[in-house]
Amino acid sequence: MIKFTKMQGLGNDYVYIDGINQKIENESSLARFVSDRHFGIGSDGLILICKSDVADFKMRMFNSDGSEAEMCGNGIRCVGKFVYDKGLTKKTTLEIETLAGIKKLELNIKDNKVETVKVDMGEPILEAEEIPVISQSSPAKLELEVFEKNFEFTCVSMGNPHAITIVDNVKDFDVEKYGKVIEIDKHFPKRINVEFIEIINKSEMKMRVWERGAGETLACGTGACASVVSCILNELTDRKVKVHLLGGILDIEWNKENNHVYMTGPAVTVFEGTLE
């Protein structure tokens, strides 16, 4: 019997399991099962909270197809809420180990529960080999033709790889048609998360995302961060931007002094249960 908590950040939903006090095996198979919205619990993936030798906790994230990913911005905010609300810690400033490095969280508490979380996402990675993407430019840029439509991408890694492109009307854009082809393009050795964005003004943008291994989701925290970085690099926005996603709004800032990207947004518990 495995106890779980279903949580979401802007509709980007995961099944969260305490891997400290419970023994979890066959993580990839478990992720595929719990993610199934007809025969499982229903989620964009599985996140395990584990012990860490280098931070307060370790986060392991699995996509709905069972593949393990480096990081999830919406997911890590819910990790902060999980460990505080469950009494695993009373600290309001936390360090979380991920495959993308250690991330720092500031928990905003209301009525003894975590309401929002600010995450120090670290420095963006802009070099093509480190993202990785096959590109000769720095910062990494790429032009692709997909179904006779030309795209210009700026590529950024926030610990996981992203390709960002601007479209005229993101609401009516066919994210699935293009996203699933771009994800597996040969220029992306580890596949890619694809962000389609529409600039509203210097401090606001709209974004939809095709996530590697999950398809279109309602939100992507690392994708929002990467999108803001790409727009600043192309002199399209200011350094503080509200990103409007299908699931809600994230506040993103690329700090000029320390080069770190900060993301602030909600974390919500949906329901809890026990899995046989």
Mean pLDDT of all residues in 82-89: 98
- pLDDT-derived band of residue 276, with 50, 70 and 90 as boundaries? confident
Helix axes 73-85, 221-233, angle to 10 degrees: 140
Q: Is the dihedral of CA 30, 32, 38, 44 positive or negative?
A: positive
Question: pLDDT tens digits, residue range 228-272?
Answer: 999 999 999 999 999 999 999 999 999 999 999 999 999 999 999
How many beta carbons lie within 10 A of that of residue 26, not counting itself? 10
What is the share, in percent, of the chain residues with pLDDT greater than 70? Answer: 100
| Helix-strand-coil split of the chain, %, nearest 5 | 20, 45, 35
Give 112's pLDDT tier (boundaries 50, 70, 90): very high
Rounded Cα distance, 47 and 30, in Å? 11
Please state the rounded mean pLDDT for residues 12-37: 97
Whether residue 266 is preceded by a cis peptide bond, meaning omega within 30 degrees of 0, is no
Structurally, what CATH architecture does the domain formed by 2-118+265-275 represent?
Roll (3.10)
137, amino acid identity: S
Catalytic residue among 72, 155, 225, 231: 72
The pLDDT mean for the chain works out to 97
Q: For position 114, what pLDDT does the model report?
A: 97
Checking if the pLDDT of 88 tops 90, the result is yes
Residue 231 bears catalytic tag: no
- CATH fit for domain 128-259, picks 3.40.50.720, 3.40.50.1370, 3.10.310.10, 2.40.10.10: 3.10.310.10
Q: Name the residue ranges covered by the structural domains of the chain.
A: 2-118+265-275, 128-259
Q: Read off the tokens for 265.
A: 């947004």
User: Which of 78, 155, 220, 225 is the catalytic position?
Assistant: 220
Residue 231: predicted pLDDT:
98
pLDDT exceeds cutoff 90 at 75? yes
Residue 167 has pLDDT above 90, yes or no: yes
Residues 6+ apart with CB under 8 A from 14: 6, 7, 8, 43, 44, 45, 46, 47, 61, 72, 75, 78
